[in-house]
């Protein structure tokens, strides 16, 4: 091996090790590392040094709190003032500390065993609960927030441009927010709630401030959010804990206070106070007029609530009707509408008609929660054991899987939507990668044949800001056209042609899990734990590849 | 290893029973055992499990241990068997190192593990020298075992940018640690 070859090998090894340590490597990558290591003792040395450094860093991170803290004080506490000259003193301290501690524990080796078991359990917990972003009080740098406000409600909202569109649950970053008609309720992180009535434009500036460009808004500012500001032209409306409205047209600005008081700052005039029931109008030529307020002109949260309820009811009825037709569709081989079960019921009733109780699912661990509509249930998957077990007999060709899902976060390398227990020839696996890509595969080989299947992944569709939103995901697998197609919210994400030898018929399901993968007994927990962190409301499995239009209909008729 | 610290009242330790001595040895060498096992297993929680299994086996076999024999080589030998058992149980697919490589690396890993304390001292000093942002990356990834994807999310960086950053910092740390350890050895030789 030449020197330059060797240098290349070492670089390649380091890159692969970064990924291997992160669990983001497949068998091909592993094989490559082994190859590299077998090629030269220098590579092996390099590998060991790398690993030793990782070990040292892990120990640094856990000294005091994690590994070994049960009884070992041999990990010196992190001490930034540590210098070579005081090392010998330090060493003495460590050793005396150790002796003192040993006095306490050495009397019985049992404690040692208990500590061992406790640590083993602790590391299990650590493994199945990866650290949650921003959840670490010891973080030097806190996770940056995804935005400054949240969209919490939309009623009959319409947009002129699709690029303006936003959805309930969206985290809003600084920038312009436009709505053409309808209402949007925005909750600023400071605690202020704004109802925007279209057509309107609001420029989000921070969690406590926005510039209002046009339209009508009503703001409700609880005491905790006092100081919330809306900028209007050269006016600054500072809220002192109240409820107020602003209407802005090309030729006048109208500020009204319904409750509490606001301060108006403008460069040309003294600070002005508006009290409850007062209204200030300023025309384009600067004429200021004061008059009583007219709160009925501004939709408040309560009325918005009533309108939203009306909308929700309408949509729920629409879905119900559509769902009825799905239940009788011959192509539907399994359907869980999740709408007619009691909260305590651990059976997930099959919705296929005529009824077939054999298709009922069993809810394990997972909780029933509210689904897309209040009173409509969904299944929430949180813990590694949570799942819905189903057994779907039969042999099929093309397949369609569709689901309404609310993803809280993608914690696992593979986040399960629907996985057959065994991954044998003809069995499909449908999941989401932690990169936010939808993943579908049908196993091609059996255990003896080495031609591996090729999964079809969509481009990444998931952003953490979508957390908590109901999304519609669908994938069709067409064995005739040899295509696999992924959809998000009724729209095509990607379509890929699958090579002929990658198409397997028949496809089979058999025993399977919704929201998880049933191999908890596998020793390799990293591979076995694939539970979804989120909720599923409605799952459809069809023995046919539905068309683009049919997928869109499922979305349109099911959106909350 | 220093068994009798002179700064403590001696009488408390005059009669250390074999069990006490054994427990003390295991406690003393936990980190080195972890370094040894981690180097071969490569995953924090799995390595922790194997170390715990090793502790139990050491405890069970304590009667075979001769008090005048050095503890660490004996413990490493048992740890190696535990690692091999772990690799075998999981099947080759899921472990980076196969049995052959474990055997091949064992000697080097053992030497390196014995030096783990000085690696840590050097490492701490080297990390201090990094920029705050680089320190933050290292702490997230290795102190708190945050996945690269989560780091990318919370730092608003691309996944590949995080990987490249980690790679760069790791190289710098490796150079720094090596240089420090080399200079320490020279001081020791004087």
Q: Does B60 touch chain A (CB under 8 A)?
A: no
State the span(s) of chain A assigned CATH 2.60.120.1440: 149-299
Q: Which of residues 146-175 of B touch A (CB under 8 A)?
A: 146-150, 153-156, 159, 163, 166-167, 170-171, 173-174
CATH 2.60.120.200 boundaries in chain A? 317-558
Question: Distance between CA atoms of B38 and B17, rounded to whole angstroms?
Answer: 31
Rounded average pLDDT over A223-233: 86
- Are B96 and A34 in contact by the 8 Å Cβ rule? The answer is yes
Q: Measuring CA to CA, which residue among A530, A527, A422 is closest to residue B93?
A: A527
Q: Cβ of B35 and A82 within 8 Å?
A: no
Is B23–A434 a contact, with Cβ atoms under 8 angstroms apart?
no
* Domain range B17-90, CATH architecture: Orthogonal Bundle (1.10)
| A33-37, A307-311, A369-373, range with the lowest pLDDT | A307-311
HEC string of A181-248? EEEEEEEECCCCEEEEEEEEEEEEEECCEEEEEEEEEEEEECHHHCCCEEEECCEEEEECCEEEEEEE
Question: For position A28, what pLDDT does the model report?
Answer: 85
pLDDT digits (tens, 9 = 90+) for B87-96: 887 754 567 8
pLDDT of B55-86, one tens digit each? 888 888 888 877 777 888 999 999 999 998 88
Collect all residues with Cβ–Cβ distance below 8 Å to B112 and sequence separation of at least 6.
Answer: A48, A49, A52, B35, B39, B119
Strand, coil or helix: what is A533?
strand
Torsion region of A482: left, alpha or beta (phi above 0 gives left; psi -120 to 50 gives alpha)? left
Q: Note whether B113 contacts A133, CB cutoff 8 Å.
A: no
pLDDT tens-digit profile of A99-158? Answer: 333 333 443 344 444 444 434 333 333 333 333 333 333 333 333 445 788 888 888 888
Highest mean pLDDT of the ranges A116-130, A420-434, A533-547, B141-155? A533-547
Given CB atoms, is B185 within the 8 Å cutoff of chain A?
Answer: no
**Pair of tokens at residue A301:** 């949260």
For domain B119-189, give its CATH number from 3.40.1440.10, 3.40.1620.10, 1.10.10.10, 3.40.50.300: 1.10.10.10
Share of chain A above pLDDT 90, in %: 30
Q: Identify the CA nearest to A489 among candidates A429, A537, A555.
A: A555
Reported confidence tier of residue A451, pLDDT bands at 50, 70, 90: low
Q: Which CATH code of 2.60.40.4070, 2.60.120.200, 1.20.120.1200, 1.10.3720.10 fits the domain covering A317-558?
A: 2.60.120.200
Please tell me which of A33-47, A138-152, A456-470 the model is most confident about, judged by mean pLDDT. A33-47
End-to-end CA distance of chain A: 63
DSSP H or E run through A295: none
Contact state of A112 with B171 under an 8 Å Cβ cutoff: no
Tokens representing residue A519 in the block? 């191999």
Q: How confident is the model at residue B12 (pLDDT cuts 50, 70, 90)?
A: very low
The confidence score (pLDDT) of residue A332 equals 93
Structure pTM? Answer: 0.49
Query: Does residue B169 surpass a pLDDT of 50?
Result: yes
Annotate chain B with three-state secondary structure: CCCCCCCCCHHHHCCCCHHHHHHHHHHHCHHHHHHHHHHHHCCHHHHHHHHHHHHHHHHHCHHHCCCCCCHHHHHHHHHHHHHHHHHHHHCHHHCCCCHHHHHHHHHHHHHHHHCHHHHHHHHHHHHHHCCHHHHHHHHHHHHCCCCHHHHHHHHCCCHHHHHHHHHHHHHHHHHHHHHHHHHHHHHHHC
A329-347: per-residue pLDDT in tens? 999 999 999 987 666 778 8
Q: Which of A84, A96, A109 sits opposite B8 (nearest CB)?
A: A96
3-state secondary structure of A298: coil
- Mean pLDDT is lowest, of A115-129, A457-471, B29-43, for A115-129
Tell me the domain boundaries of chain B: 17-90, 119-189
Chain centroid to CA A390: how far? 25
Asked if B150 lies within 8 A of A133 by C-beta distance, the reply is: yes
Interface contact flag, B156 A61, Cβ < 8 Å: no
For residue A469, what is the DSSP state? -
pLDDT in tens, A66-79: 333 333 333 333 33
Considering only CA atoms, which of A475, A464, A343 is closest in space to residue A407? Answer: A464
Whole-number Cα distances in Å, B52 to A114, A271, B47: 11, 70, 9
DSSP string, A323-379: HHHHHT-TTEEEEE---S--TT--EE----SS--GGG-EEEESPEEEE-SSTT-EEE
What is the average per-residue pLDDT within A222-228? 85
| CATH for A149-299, options being 2.60.120.1440, 2.40.10.220, 3.20.20.70, 3.40.50.300 | 2.60.120.1440
């Amino acid at each position: 091996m030449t020197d330059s070859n060797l240098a290349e090998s070492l670089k390649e090894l380091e890159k692969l090790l970064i990924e291997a340590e992160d669990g983001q490597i497949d068998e091909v990558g592993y094989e490559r590392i082994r190859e590299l290591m077998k090629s030269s003792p220098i590579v092996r040395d390099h590998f060991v040094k790398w690993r030793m450094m990782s070990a040292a860093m892990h120990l640094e991170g856990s000294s005091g709190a994690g590994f070994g803290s049960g009884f070992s004080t041999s990990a010196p506490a992190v001490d930034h003032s540590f210098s070579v000259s005081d090392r010998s003193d330090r060493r003495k301290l460590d050793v005396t500390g150790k002796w003192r501690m040993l006095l306490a524990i050495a009397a019985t080796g049992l404690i040692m065993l208990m500590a061992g078991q406790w640590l083993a359990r602790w590391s299990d917990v650590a493994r199945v609960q990866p650290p949650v972003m921003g959840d670490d009080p010891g973080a030097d740098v806190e996770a940056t927030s995804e935005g400054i406000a949240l969209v919490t409600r939309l009623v009959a909202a319409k947009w002129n441009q699709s690029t303006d569109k936003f959805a309930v649950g969206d985290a809003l970053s600084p920038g312009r927010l436009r709505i053409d008609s309808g209402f949007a309720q925005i909750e600023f992180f400071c605690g202020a709630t704004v109802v925007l009535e279209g057509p309107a434009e609001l420029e989000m500036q921070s969690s406590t401030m926005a510039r209002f460009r046009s339209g009508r808004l009503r703001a409700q500012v609880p005491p905790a959010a006092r100081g919330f500001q809306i900028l209007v032209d050269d006016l600054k409306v500072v809220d002192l804990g109240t409820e107020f409205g602003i209407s802005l047209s090309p030729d006048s600005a109208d500020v009204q206070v319904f409750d509490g008081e606001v301060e108006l700052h403008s460069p040309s005039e003294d600070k002005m106070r508006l009290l409850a029931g007062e209204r200030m109008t300023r025309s384009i030529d600067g004429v200021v007029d004061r008059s009583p307020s007219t709160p009925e002109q501004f939709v408040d949260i309560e009325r918005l609530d009533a309108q939203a309820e009306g909308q929700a009811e309408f949509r729920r009825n629409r879905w119900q009707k559509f769902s009825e037709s799905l239940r009788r569709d011959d192509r539907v081989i399994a359907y869980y509408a999740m709408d007619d079960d009691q909260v305590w019921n651990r059976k997930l009733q099959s919705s296929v008609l005529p009824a077939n109780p054999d298709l009922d699912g069993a809810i394990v661990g997972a909780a029933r929660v509210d689904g897309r509509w209040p009173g409509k249930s969904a299944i929430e998957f949180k813990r590694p054991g949570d799942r819905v077990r189903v057994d779907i007999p039969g042999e099929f060709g093309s397949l369609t899987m569709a689901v309404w899902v609310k993803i809280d976060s993608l914690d696992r390398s593979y986040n399960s939507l629907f996985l057959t227990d065994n991954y044998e020839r003809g069995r499909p696996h449908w999941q989401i990668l932690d990169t936010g890509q939808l993943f579908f595969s049908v196993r091609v080989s059996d255990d003896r044949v080495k031609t591996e299947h090729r999964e079809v992944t969509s481009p990444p569709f998931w952003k953490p800001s979508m957390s908590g939103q109901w999304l519609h995901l669908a994938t069709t697998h067409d064995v005739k056209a040899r295509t696999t197609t992924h959809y998000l919210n009724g729209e095509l994400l990607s379509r890929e042609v699958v090579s002929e030898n990658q198409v397997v018929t028949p496809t089979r399901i058999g025993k399977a899990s919704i929201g998880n993968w049933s191999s908890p007994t596998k020793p390799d927990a990293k591979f076995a734990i694939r539970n979804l962190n989120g909720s599923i409301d409605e799952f459809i499995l069809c023995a046919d590849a539905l068309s683009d239009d049919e997928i869109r209909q499922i979305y349109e008729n099911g959106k909350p | 290893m220093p068994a009798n610290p002179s700064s403590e009242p001696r009488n408390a330790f005059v009669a250390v029973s074999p069990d006490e001595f054994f427990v003390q040895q295991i406690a003393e060498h936990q980190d080195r055992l972890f370094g040894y096992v981690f180097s071969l297993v490569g995953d924090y929680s799995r390595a922790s499990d194997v170390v715990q299994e090793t502790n139990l086996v050491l405890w069970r076999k304590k009667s075979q241990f001769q008090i005048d024999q050095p503890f660490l080589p004996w413990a490493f030998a048992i740890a190696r068997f535990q690692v091999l058992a772990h690799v075998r149980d999981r099947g080759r697919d899921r472990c980076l190192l196969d049995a052959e490589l474990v055997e091949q690396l064992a000697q080097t890993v053992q030497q390196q593990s014995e030096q783990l304390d000085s690696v840590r001292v050097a490492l701490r000093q080297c990390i201090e020298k990094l920029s705050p942002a680089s320190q933050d990356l290292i702490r997230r990834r290795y102190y708190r075992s945050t996945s690269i994807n989560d780091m990318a999310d919370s730092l608003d960086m691309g996944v590949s940018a995080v990987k490249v950053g980690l790679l760069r910092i790791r190289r710098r740390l490796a150079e720094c640690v090596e240089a420090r350890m080399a200079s320490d050895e020279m001081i020791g030789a004087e």
